[in-house]
């Protein structure tokens, strides 16, 4: 990728917008799965509900998806080491 001039406010704002868009769906999906799992665990922990294992699986899947999105974003940032 060609380097961009980040000394200007508009260019910096565009670069931050680009970084936010990297793996956005992956990160948001992971966050949603993790939240569903966490709520399921909180609601069913005391009563020993049947949805405890699916909640753990959802939490784990969410964590893996979110971590994958973060790694993807860090890799994208690593392709432009001379900036910021």
- 3-class DSSP state of 84: coil
pLDDT higher than threshold 60 for residue 27: yes
Q: pLDDT value at position 67?
A: 95
Report the chain's mean pLDDT, rounded to a whole number. Answer: 85
pLDDT band at 54 (very low <50, low <70, confident <90, very high): very high
Q: Identify whether the C-beta of residue 26 lies closer than 8 Å to the C-beta of residue 69.
A: yes
Q: What is the pTM of this model?
A: 0.76
pLDDT band at 35 (very low <50, low <70, confident <90, very high): very high
Long-range CB contact pairs, 12-20, < 8 A, 24+: 15/83, 15/84, 19/73, 19/76, 19/77
Q: Identify whether the C-beta of residue 8 lies closer than 8 Å to the C-beta of residue 59.
A: no
Could you tell me the two tokens for 59?
């939490």
pLDDT higher than threshold 80 for residue 5: no
């Amino acid at each position: 990728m060609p380097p961009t001039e980040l000394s200007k406010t508009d260019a910096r704002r565009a670069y931050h917008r680009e970084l936010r868009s990297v793996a956005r769906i992956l990160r948001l999906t992971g966050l949603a799965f993790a939240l569903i799992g966490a709520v399921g665990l909180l609601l069913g922990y005391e009563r020993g509900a049947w949805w405890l294992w699916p909640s753990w699986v959802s939490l784990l899947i969410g964590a893996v998806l979110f971590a994958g999105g973060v790694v993807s974003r860090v890799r994208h940032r690593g392709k432009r080491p001379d900036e910021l």
